[in-house]
Amino acid sequence: MRFSNRSIKALSSKDTKYRVWDKGGLTGLYLMVMPTGTKTFRYFYRLNGLSQDIKIGRYPTLSIDEARSIAKGYAAQIANRISPIEEKNKAAQQAKLDENALLGEYLNNQYAPWVRATKKSAHETLRMLNVDFKHLHKRRLKEVTKQDAITWIINATSGTGYKRPLNKSTINRRIAALKGLFTHAVSEGHITSSPLSGIKNQRVDNHAKERILSAEEHGALFGVITTRDRIIRDERQRTNEWRAARNMEPLPSFKLINNYIFPLITLMLYTGIRRNEAFSLEWNDIDFQGKMLTVRGDIAKSGQTRRIPLAMETLNLLEMWKDEHKSENPLVFPSPSTGKKLTTIKTAWNNIIKDASKECPSIADLNLHALRHTFATNLMSKGVHVMVLQSLLGHQDIKTTQRYVHVQDTDREQAIRAISAIDY
């Protein structure tokens, strides 16, 4: 069965223990249900011709997502021919030696390497742990308490220590990052239980209207982007005229696209791909002849490969970007300074929004993820079935897709007019 809190709670004990496999998660993850009613996550795998089984932790002390995350880490070890059981035993022995390790030491020496090897969101996860919970770094793992987390939640909610109060979704994500560290410490035998066990997520209004790009904001956004491109082209032309007058070699001239921002923003808006998925795209992921974009499983948040058809305008823009910036770099949008994968475009984005807000003040609070919301909402308003949208967005659970889209106000008005017209 697919693991969910409802399905697991519905499992009843029998005279003998039995297994229930997670059909919706990672292969090998299962739940052992004992005659006493105890339910324990375990992971089954084969390595070097031997079948092995390793305990992950008890439900509900360990959540389903936490169990899947640990199982995914074990799968990564197996892929590298490393035995999770042997590694766990080594860690347990080491834990006896450094049971007084500080949280910061554990984060840097043990948890960070594991996160980088197993999580696509490693950069953001480690940033949160190093910034939001830096005050806990000099505390021993076993000395951190639930009250520490509760105090942080209270402060974050009021904005204490931040420029402004954090919203509930942000608080949930950052507490989840801290929970992940302690869950790992428990699984590796460093501590017997997580101090954050029992802390529930802040209740979030999933029906709140998501931030999307209006027609006016669309015009302001792309107006600034194209203007910035034109200014850079004109500056390069003037520079080359100056160099030519002095018999100097000209610099490469720009035709239409001289900056990655234009094609990157366009691609995100018209395919709905996530920021990190866009940053990780390679030219081999784009089938120009088949007009198809492939989001590989190793860069997708869900871990599942998906394919997204490309509109002709988007395809032409990408072809133009490729032709004007010929390079051996496999990345579609490499960092201009390092040539490596982008990690952020915060500065460029903030500058664009600042300029666009002069013409359109409402755009001032627009964030990059709103492009994905806009893609989803526009398709839904055109009558695209929610299951098709789920496939395009790469959501494993259709409830997530339903959270990203919202019923248009005009639809509600039409519904009320329809019910008013009924003659009782």
Report yes or no: 170 and 131 within 8 Å, Cβ to Cβ. no
Local structure of residue 243 (DSSP, 8 states): H
Does 412 have pLDDT greater than 60?
no
* pLDDT band, residue 405 (cuts 50/70/90): low
**For residues 63-69, average pLDDT:** 88
Instruction: Identify the DSSP state of 245.
Output: T
Looking at per-residue confidence, does 75 or 406 come out higher? 75
Q: Does the pLDDT of residue 408 top 60, yes or no?
A: no
Angle between helices 215-244 and 346-359 (to 10 degrees): 110
Token digits for 289?
């002849």
* Domain extent listing, the chain: 1-64+74-79, 98-204, 215-369
User: Judging by DSSP bridges, how do beta strands 306-309 and 29-33 pair with one another?
Assistant: unpaired
Residue 242: pLDDT over 90: yes
* Percentage of the chain exceeding pLDDT 70: 90
Decide: 48 and 70 in contact? Cβ < 8 Å.
Answer: no
Cα separation, 3 vs 56, whole angstroms: 15
- Of 405 and 320, which is predicted with more confidence? 320
> Among residues 17, 46, 138, 369, which one is catalytic?
369
Rounded mean pLDDT, 186-206: 84
The single residue of 174, 228, 372, 373 carrying the catalytic annotation is 372
* Region 98-204: CATH code: 1.10.150.130
304 is written with which tokens?
């599942």
* 247 band by pLDDT with thresholds 50, 70 and 90: very high
- For tokens 């002095």, what's the residue? 246
- Count how many Cα atoms sit within 13 Å of the Cα of residue 63 in the half-sphere of its side chain: 15
State the pLDDT at residue 380. 84
R_g of the chain, CA atoms, integer Å: 26
Beta bridge partners of 231: none
Which of helix, strand or coil describes residue 391? Answer: helix
- CATH fold of 215-369 reads hpI Integrase; Chain A (1.10.443)
What digits encode the pLDDT tens for the residues 294-311?
999 888 888 889 999 999
pLDDT one-digit tens code per residue, 324-335 = 777 789 999 999
**pLDDT(351) > 60:** yes
Query: Is residue 395 among the annotated active site residues?
Result: yes
Catalytic residue among 179, 184, 275, 395: 395
The chain-wide mean pLDDT, for the chain, equals 87
Whether residue 369 lies in the annotated active site: yes
Does the pLDDT value for residue 417 go beyond 80?
no
Region 1-64+74-79: CATH code: 3.30.160.390
| Domains 98-204 and 215-369 belong to one CATH topology | no
Our answer to whether residue 218 is catalytic in this structure is no
Catalytic residue (one of 274, 275, 306, 373): 274
pLDDT interval class at 27 (50, 70, 90): confident
**Reported confidence tier of residue 406, pLDDT bands at 50, 70, 90:** low
* pLDDT (tens digit per residue) in 352-370: 999 999 999 999 989 999 9
- Cis before 60? omega within 30: yes
Task: Grade residue 174 by pLDDT with cuts at 50, 70 and 90.
Answer: very high
Model confidence band, residue 202 (pLDDT cutoffs 50, 70, 90): confident
Q: What is the DSSP letter of 282?
A: B
**Which of 172, 70, 73 lies closest to 116, judged by CA?**
73
Predicted confidence at residue 336, as pLDDT, reads 85
- pLDDT-derived band at 418 (thresholds 50, 70, 90) equals low
Single-letter residue type at 154: I
Whether pLDDT at 203 is above 90: no
User: Active site residue: 301, 307, 322, 341, which one?
Assistant: 301
Q: Which residues, 6+ apart, have CB-to-CB distance to 327 below 8 Å?
A: 334
Can 406 be counted among the known catalytic residues?
Answer: no
Of the pLDDT bands very low, low, confident and very high (cuts 50, 70, 90), residue 85 is confident
Q: What is the pLDDT of residue 23?
A: 84
